[in-house]
């Protein structure tokens, strides 16, 4: 099949590469010539395990190519994926201007039947807007060409996006048109493996499914974070509670981990956008509001613990920071709890020695040359001569440090574990003071 992907950001590039891997011919478009140059040179502008090799392989095989030529890309594919960004507006709603521009472009240049697929996370009702924008362009040109608009939300986790795309647990397709349904069935047939993963529905339900999934996951996290606060007050251990409830198959273990708050490009933005959609429709969704408020508070939980331990004046204190990215296996720092922590510690007069396996360049870009903040080349180097260690991201490499050595390196011998990576008694056995999230 011939496929065009408009927008070569995270979602567009992963989708394009994976569809090419399945034998399709894919042309990826981006308006940013620098990005296209990088991709043509065989590199990728983001960090995502397995993606670079997949891009190179498929470019070499002639199945994947990149362009900045909008007309060429519209004419190329029967399927036109729209995978452009939907950044939050000031009021929290999703900014659809890039999506609508992409739709207009399709209408302006299409020369044959097209199946237009919304891949970006867009509010309920966007497919109608996309359809109307295409119709308007076609009528201005005075031509009649059949097309339909399909919603096909992505459920890719950063750090596991290639795997998630190649082995999906479900493929949600919202389509109200027979040709659109058949085309999507054919496109995803190779991804089905042993059982049918395609869940067909109407367009609006598909649009809502994406937000509902992310909001549900964010709700679980905020709920656990709130219970962790209570556990601390009660002298209970949230990790035992997590195991105790996760073993109920109706609850399950996933996304029950308390920590220093969720971040990233999806949860914060999508929870807000869904709230906004509800308000626009005359509904005040209380749970969603609480999910966001609890998360904001949770992002400050490490600072609260540091204040309680050292007091608010941290002049002359040095902190080792392990992890900057909003989660492991990514260099993404959007809405990362580390950002709040760094700002808070610097404001209190502390100096910081930060290490992250891949996100340090991104952090340098965000913070520039800030007095008091330095980046070091290893986790061990960060700890040397610091007063305390703060763990912010749950990278595997941070999971089993040498606590004896750490006790020698840290002047104040304190560990603040924002992701509950360690068993408190093991850390304490080395002579360190341990503060986790909701732990005894």
Bind-site residues: 30, 35, 86, 121, 155-158, 210, 255-259, 263, 269, 327, 334
Which residue of 16, 264, 323, 344 would you call a contact of ligand UDX, by CB under 6 A?
A: 264
The least distance separating ligand UDX from the CB of residue 188, rounded to whole angstroms, comes to 17
Which residues line the annotated binding site for substrate? Answer: 155-158, 210, 255-259, 263, 327
The least distance separating ligand UDX from the CB of residue 271, rounded to whole angstroms, comes to 11
Torsion of CA 111, 148, 172, 334, to 10 degrees: 60
Per-residue contact track with ligand UDX, 303 to 342, x per CB under 6 A?
Answer: -----------------------xx---------------
Which residues lie below 8 Å from residue 139, measured CB to CB, with a gap of 6+?
A: none
Which one of the listed residues 18, 148, 266, 318 is annotated catalytic? 266
Counting beta carbons within 10 angstroms of the beta carbon of residue 365, is it exposed (0 to 12), middle (13 to 18) or buried (19 or more)? exposed
Which residue of 13, 55, 110, 156 would you call a contact of ligand UDX, by CB under 6 A?
A: 156
Which residue of 107, 174, 263, 401 would you call a contact of ligand UDX, by CB under 6 A?
A: 263
How is the beta sheet containing 373-375 ordered, strand by strand?
373-375, 351-355, 318-322, 388-391, 414-417, 433-435
Please identify, using beta-carbon distances, which residue of 266 and 320 lies nearer to ligand UDX.
266
Which residue of 158, 232, 239, 417 would you call a contact of ligand UDX, by CB under 6 A?
A: 158
Q: Of 259-267, 354-362, 370-378, 422-430, which segment contacts ligand UDX by CB under 6 A? A: 259-267
Please identify, using beta-carbon distances, which residue of 317 and 327 lies nearer to ligand UDX.
327
Q: Binders of ligand UDX: how many residues, by CB under 6 A?
A: 19
Please identify, using beta-carbon distances, which residue of 155 and 191 lies nearer to ligand UDX.
155
What letter would DSSP give residue 189?
A: G
Q: Does 262 bind ligand UDX (CB under 6 A)?
A: yes
Which residues lie below 8 Å from residue 69, measured CB to CB, with a gap of 6+?
A: 29
Cα separations (Å) of 20 from 3, 57, 73, 233, 434? 9, 10, 15, 53, 49
Q: Of 33-41, 139-147, 255-263, 367-375, which segment contacts ligand UDX by CB under 6 A? A: 255-263
Task: Look at the alpha carbons of 252, 253, 254, 260 in this order and tell me if their dihedral is positive or negative.
Answer: positive
- For helices 203-234 and 286-298, the axis angle rounded to 10 degrees is 50
DSSP string, 339-391: HHHHHHHHHTT-EEEEE-TTTHHHHHHHH-S-TTEEE-SSHHHHHTT-SEEEE
Tell me the backbone φ, ψ of residue 346, rounded to 5 degrees: -65, -40
- Residue 312 is encoded by which pair of tokens? 């608010």
Pairing relation of β-strands 351-355 and 433-435? Answer: unpaired
Please identify, using beta-carbon distances, which residue of 123 and 263 lies nearer to ligand UDX.
263
Q: Is 266 a catalytic residue?
A: yes
Q: Give start and end residues of each alpha helix (H) in 94-202.
A: 97-109, 126-141, 161-166, 178-188
Cα separation, 218 vs 124, in Å, equals 19
The least distance separating ligand UDX from the CB of residue 312, rounded to whole angstroms, comes to 26
Which residues line the annotated binding site for NAD(+)? Answer: 30, 35, 86, 121, 158, 269, 334
Q: Of 124-132, 154-162, 363-371, 404-412, which segment contacts ligand UDX by CB under 6 A? A: 154-162
The least distance separating ligand UDX from the CB of residue 11, rounded to whole angstroms, comes to 8
The least distance separating ligand UDX from the CB of residue 343, rounded to whole angstroms, comes to 17
Q: Does 256 bind ligand UDX (CB under 6 A)?
A: yes
Active site residues: 266
Q: Where does this chain bind ligand UDX (CB under 6 A)? A: 154-158, 214, 217, 221, 255-257, 259, 262-264, 266-267, 326-327
């Amino acid at each position: 099949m011939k496929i065009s992907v408009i927008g070569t950001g995270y979602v567009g590039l992963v989708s394009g590469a994976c569809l090419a891997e399945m034998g399709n011919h894919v042309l990826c478009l981006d308006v940013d010539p620098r990005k296209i140059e990088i991709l043509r040179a065989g590199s990728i502008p983001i960090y995502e395990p397995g993606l670079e090799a997949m891009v190179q392989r498929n470019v070499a095989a002639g199945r994947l190519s990149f362009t900045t030529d909008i007309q060429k890309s519209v004419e190329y594919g029967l399927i036109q994926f729209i995978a452009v960004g939907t950044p939050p507006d000031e009021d929290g709603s999703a900014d659809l201007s890039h999506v609508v521009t992409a739709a207009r472009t399709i209408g302006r240049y299409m020369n044959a039947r097209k199946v237009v697929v919304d891949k970006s996370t867009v509010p309920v009702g966007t497919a109608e807007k996309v359809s109307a924008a295409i119709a308007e362009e076609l009528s201005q040109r005075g031509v009649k060409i059949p097309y339909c608009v399909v919603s096909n939300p992505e459920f890719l986790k950063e750090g596991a996006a290639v795997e998630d795309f190649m082995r999906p647990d479900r493929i949600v397709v919202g389509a109200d048109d027979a040709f659109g349904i058949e085309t999507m069935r054919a496109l995803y047939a190779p991804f089905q493996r042993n059982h049918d993963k395609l869940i067909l529905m109407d367009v609006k339900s598909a649009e809502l499914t994406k937000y509902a999934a992310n909001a549900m996951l964010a709700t679980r996290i905020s709920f656990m974070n709130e219970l962790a606060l209570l556990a601390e007050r009660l002298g209970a251990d949230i990790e035992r509670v997590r195991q105790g409830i996760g073993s109920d198959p109706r609850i399950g273990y996933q996304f029950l981990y308390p920590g220093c708050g969720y971040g990233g490009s999806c949860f914060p933005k999508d929870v807000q956008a869904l709230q906004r959609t509800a308000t626009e429709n005359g509904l005040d969704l209380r749970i969603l509001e609480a999910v966001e408020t609890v998360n904001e508070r949770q992002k400050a939980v490490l600072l609260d613990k540091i204040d309680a331990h050292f007091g608010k004046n941290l002049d002359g204190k040095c902190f080792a920071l392990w992890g900057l990215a909003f989660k492991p296996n990514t260099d993404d720092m959007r809405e990362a709890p580390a950002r709040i922590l760094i700002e808070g510690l610097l404001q209190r007069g502390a100096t910081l020695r930060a290490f992250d396996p891949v996100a340090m360049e991104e952090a340098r870009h965000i913070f520039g040359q800030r007095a008091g903040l330095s980046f070091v080349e290893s986790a061990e180097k960060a700890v040397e001569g610091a007063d305390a260690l703060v763990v912010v991201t749950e990278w595997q490499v941070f999971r089993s440090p040498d606590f004896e050595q750490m006790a020698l390196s840290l002047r104040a011998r304190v560990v603040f574990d924002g992701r509950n990576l360690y068993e408190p008694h093991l850390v304490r056995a080395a002579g360190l003071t341990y503060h986790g999230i909701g732990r005894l």
